[in-house]
Chains A and B, each alone.
Chain A
Amino acid sequence: MANDPLLVLVPKENVNDETVRLSAWRLKDRSPVAAGAVVAEIETSKAVIEVLSPAAGFLRHAAAEDSVVAVGGPLCWVTAGPEDPIPTTAQPGSEEGLFDTAAGARFSKKAHALALKHGVVDAFAGRGLVRESDVRAYLKRQGKAAAGQDQGACMTHLKGVSIVKEDLPRRKLAEIHSLSQGQNAGLSSLVRVPCPLAGYRKSLSRSPELAATPLALVVYETARLLRKHPVFNAFYEDGRLARYGEVHIGFVVDSGRGLAVPVVRDADKKDLPAVAREMQDLMLAYEEGSLSADAVSNGTFTVTDLSGEGAVSFHPLINERQSAILGIAAASGASFDLSLTFDHRLAEGRAACIFLKGLRDRLAGEA
Chain B
Amino acid sequence: MAHAPAKPDLSELYRKAFLIRETELRLLELFTQGKVNGTIHTCVGQEFTGLAVAEAMKAGDLVFSNHRGHGHFIAVTGDLAGLVAEIMGKASGVCGGRGGSQHLHKDGFYSNGVQGGIVPVSAGMALALRLKASDNICAAFVGDGTLGEGVVYETLNIASKWSLPLLIVVENNLYAQSTPQSQTLAGGILERARAFGIEASAGSTADPGALVEAAAAAASGVRSGRMPRLLQVDTYRLKAHSKGDDDRDPAEVRTAWDRDPLTLYAKTDSRKAAEFSKAAKDAVAKAVAKAESSADPACAAEAPAAPRPCRWVPADLSSDRTVVALINEALARALEDDRRVVLLGEDLLDPYGGAFKVTRGLSTRFPGRVFNTPISEAAIVGLGNGLALQGLLPVVELMFGDFLALAADQIINHASKFRYMYGDTVSVPLVIRTPMGGRRGYGATHSQCLEKHFLGVPDTELLALNCRVDPGRVYAAVFKAAERPVIVIEDKLLYAMRLSRPVAAGFRWEHTDERIPCARLRPDADPDLTILAYGGMVPHAEAAAEALFDEHDLAAEVIAPVRLSPFDPGPLLESVRRTRRLLVAEEGVGFAAFGSEAASRVLEAGISPFSLKRVACHPHPVPSASPLEKAALPGPGHIISAALELCHGE
Query: A interface vs B, CB < 8 Å?
Result: 15-19, 21, 44-47, 68, 96-100, 105-106, 108-111, 127-134
Contact B356 A45 (CB under 8 A): yes
The residues of A that contact B356 with a CB separation of less than 8 Å are 16, 45-46
Please state if B493 and A16 are interface contacts (CB–CB under 8 Å).
yes
- Whole-angstrom distance from the CB of A40 to the nearest CB of chain B? 18
Q: Say which one of B197-205, B422-430, B496-504, B633-641 lies at the interface with A.
A: B496-504
Is the CB of B549 closer than 8 A to any CB of chain A? yes
Please classify how large the interface on chain B is, using the bins under 10, 10 to 19, 20 to 34, 35 or more.
Answer: 20 to 34
Residues of A within 8 Å of B498, CB to CB, are 19, 68
CA distance A19 to B552 in the complex (A): 30
Q: B614 in the interface, Cβ–Cβ < 8 Å?
A: no
When the two chains form their complex, are residues B553 and A111 in contact, meaning their CB atoms are under 8 A apart?
yes
Q: A16-B496, A45-B495, A128-B506 are in contact. Are A106 and B322 (CB under 8 A)?
A: no
Residue B275 lies at the interface, judged by CB distance under 8 Å to chain A: no
Chain B minimum-CB-distance residue to A133: B553
Closest 9 CB pairs of A and B: A128-B524, A106-B506, A129-B525, A45-B496, A108-B553, A46-B357, A129-B506, A17-B496, A45-B324
Kindly supply a per-residue 1/0 record for chain B positions 520-549, scoring 1 wherever the CB is within 8 Å of any chain A CB and 0 otherwise: 000111000000000000000000000001
The closest CB in chain A to the CB of B503 belongs to A96
Contact A45–B502 (Cβ < 8 Å): no
User: Which single residue of chain A is at the shortest CB-CB distance from B504?
Assistant: A96
Q: How far apart are the CA atoms of A90 and B550 in the complex, in Å?
A: 25
Chain B residues whose C-beta falls within 8 Å of the C-beta of A106 in the assembled complex: 504-506, 524, 549
Q: Can you report 27 A-B residue pairs in the complex whose CB atoms are below 8 A from each other?
A: A15-B441, A16-B356, A45-B322, A45-B324, A45-B356, A45-B495, A45-B496, A46-B324, A46-B356, A47-B357, A97-B505, A106-B504, A106-B505, A106-B524, A108-B551, A108-B552, A108-B553, A109-B550, A109-B551, A129-B524, A129-B525, A129-B549, A131-B549, A131-B553, A131-B554, A131-B555, A132-B553
Contacts of B357 in A (CB 8 A): 45-47
Asked whether any CB of chain A lies closer than 8 Å to the CB of B135, the reply is no
Q: Is the CB of B492 within 8 A of A16?
A: yes
- In this assembly, does B320 line the interface, its C-beta being within 8 Å of a C-beta of chain A? yes
Contacts of A131 in B (CB 8 A): 525, 549, 553-555
- Contact B441 A129, beta carbon cutoff 8 Å: no
Residues of A within 8 A of B440 (CB): 15-16
A128–B504 alpha-carbon span in the complex (Å): 11
| A109 contact set on B, CB distance < 8 A | 550-551, 553
A129 lies within 8 A of B523 (CB) = yes
Complex CA gap A134/B550 in Å reads 14
Instruction: Give complex CA distance A130, B551 in Å.
Output: 12
Identify the closest chain B residue to A126 (Cβ).
Answer: B524
Residues A129 and B496 in contact, CB atoms below 8 Å apart: no
In chain B, residues 555-580, which have Cβ atoms closer than 8 Å to a Cβ of chain A? 555
- How many angstroms from the CA of A15 to the CA of B498 in the assembled complex? 16
Knowing A45-B356, A45-B495, A108-B550 are in contact, say whether A96-B502 is a contact too (CB < 8 A): yes
Contact A100 B496 (CB under 8 A): no
- C-alpha spacing A128/B507, complex, angstroms: 8
Inter-chain CA distance A15–B493, complex, in Å, is 9
* Alpha-carbon separation in the docked complex, A152 to B245 (Å): 92
A99-B550 contact given A46-B356, A129-B555, A134-B525, CB 8 Å threshold: yes
CA distance A89 to B324 in the complex (A): 30
Contact B549 A108 (CB under 8 A): yes
